[in-house]
């Protein structure tokens, strides 16, 4: 069986009387990339700081590779790499100097430093900038340095908080490929507001709202249990009520140019719509299936946050 590397059970964190995280539970297996999402103020950064050992939980337990983050913090952190939203890089140090320093902080022996340094520089695309000052590098390369410090000790678990913030599209694509390569060897928790990145990079998505878990499923099963839809075009105008009268059609909305968007109940075959169109001589000449995107799901689950506080 695949090893569980991160186990979070009934995690809560309070700031005086304010509850930032409320009884949150989830697990992360080896080789899995988890997209950790939520609106601003949902408790994402607090959760990641607790998992990484930078904050103590008010309630609940967190274990990394079987080591409790409170009872055995050093053992747990040996198995963990962390990139906060603002990378903790020293602008006046060279890339090599900084990464060697980070390796020493993680307890790597002197005879291991050279190999570890070359490994992460190659992984993160830093081989040609080892002698350059970090402050003179582009934002994208500084993010690469931040990721390199998180994996210099070769941890099985890596937490990345907004690793692509402030980057241009080319840099985002490069960091995406880097995260994918990390996920092939480690377990990764990725927090970002760029939902397309999660859908392209992650194996599973977890969404929290007001500190509570509201969605936890694989990317593959994103559309399961939710309505699917299709955009259709008819030569003969019809009323939307005629479309909703078809078996399996939940509702329909009229678009421009004789087009409609039809929403099906789960597991409905659109062939029923096609057959009805032929029988009624509606002149169906276009049927384009639409899948619910992660953005659609995120908005659906979080848009009523203020109206329904947890």
pLDDT value of position 224:
57
How many domains, the chain? 3
pLDDT value of position 180:
86
Q: Give the phi and the psi of residue 181 in degrees, each rounded to 5.
A: -65, -35
pLDDT value of position 307:
39
Quick check: is 110 in a domain?
Answer: yes
Tell me if residue 97 falls in helix, strand or coil. helix
Residues 127 and 246 in one domain: no
Quick check: is 308 in a domain?
Answer: no
Helix residue ranges, H only, 106-239:
110-123, 139-151, 169-183, 195-201
Residues 38 and 173 in one domain: yes
**pLDDT below 70 — which residues of the chain?**
1-2, 222-227, 291-292, 304-310
pLDDT in tens, 54-97: 999 999 999 999 999 999 999 999 999 999 888 889 999 999 99
Quick check: is 309 in a domain?
Answer: no
pLDDT value of position 158:
95
| DSSP conformational letter for 118 | H
pLDDT value of position 308:
42
Quick check: is 100 in a domain?
Answer: yes
pLDDT in tens, 155-167: 999 999 988 877 8
User: For residues 78 and 157, what is the distance between their CA atoms, to the nearest angstrom?
Assistant: 10
Residues 142 and 180 in one domain: no
**Inter-residue contact 183 to 11 (CB < 8 Å):** no
Residues 236 and 285 in one domain: yes
pLDDT value of position 147:
92
Residues 9 and 97 in one domain: no
Identify the domain containing residue 258 by its residue range: 228-291
Considering 102, 119, 148, which residue would you say is the last residue of a domain?
A: 148
Residues 23 and 40 in one domain: yes
Model pTM greater than 0.85? no
Residues 65 and 164 in one domain: yes
Task: State the burial class of residue 221 (Cβ atoms within 10 Å of its Cβ: 0-12, 13-18, 19+).
Answer: exposed
pLDDT value of position 310:
37
Residues 48 and 191 in one domain: yes
Quick check: is 114 in a domain?
Answer: yes
């Amino acid at each position: 069986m695949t090893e569980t590397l991160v186990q979070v059970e009934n995690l809560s964190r309070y700031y005086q009387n304010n509850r930032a995280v409320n009884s949150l539970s989830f697990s992360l297996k080896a080789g899995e990339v988890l997209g950790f999402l939520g609106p601003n103020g949902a408790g994402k950064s607090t959760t990641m700081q607790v998992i990484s050992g930078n904050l103590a939980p008010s309630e609940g337990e967190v274990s990394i590779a079987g080591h409790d983050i409170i009872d055995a913090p050093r053992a747990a952190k040996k198995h963990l790499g962390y990139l906060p939203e603002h990378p903790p890089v020293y602008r006046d140090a060279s890339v090599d100097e900084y990464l060697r320093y980070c390796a020493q902080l993680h307890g790597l022996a002197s005879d291991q430093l050279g190999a570890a340094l070359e490994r992460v520089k190659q992984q993160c695309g830093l081989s040609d900038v080892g002698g350059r000052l970090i402050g003179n590098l582009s934002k994208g390369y500084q993010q690469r340095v931040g990721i390199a410090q998180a994996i210099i000790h070769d941890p099985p678990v890596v937490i990345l908080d907004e690793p692509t913030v402030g980057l241009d599209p080319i840099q985002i694509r490069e960091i995406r490929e880097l995260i994918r390569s990390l996920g092939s060897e480690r377990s990764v928790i990725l927090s970002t507001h760029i939902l397309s990145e999660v859908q392209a990079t992650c194996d599973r998505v977890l969404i929290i709202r007001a500190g509570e878990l509201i969605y936890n499923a694989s990317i593959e099963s994103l559309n399961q249990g939710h309505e699917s839809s299709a955009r259709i075009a008819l030569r003969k105008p019809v009323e939307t009520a005629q479309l909703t009268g078809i078996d399996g059609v939940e509702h329909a909305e009229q678009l421009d140019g004789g087009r409609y968007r039809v929403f099906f109940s789960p597991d409905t075959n659109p062939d029923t719509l096609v057959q009805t169109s032929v029988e009624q001589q509606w002149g169906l000449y276009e049927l384009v299936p639409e899948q619910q995107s992660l953005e659609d799901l995120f908005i659906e689950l979080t848009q009523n946050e203020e109206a329904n506080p947890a």
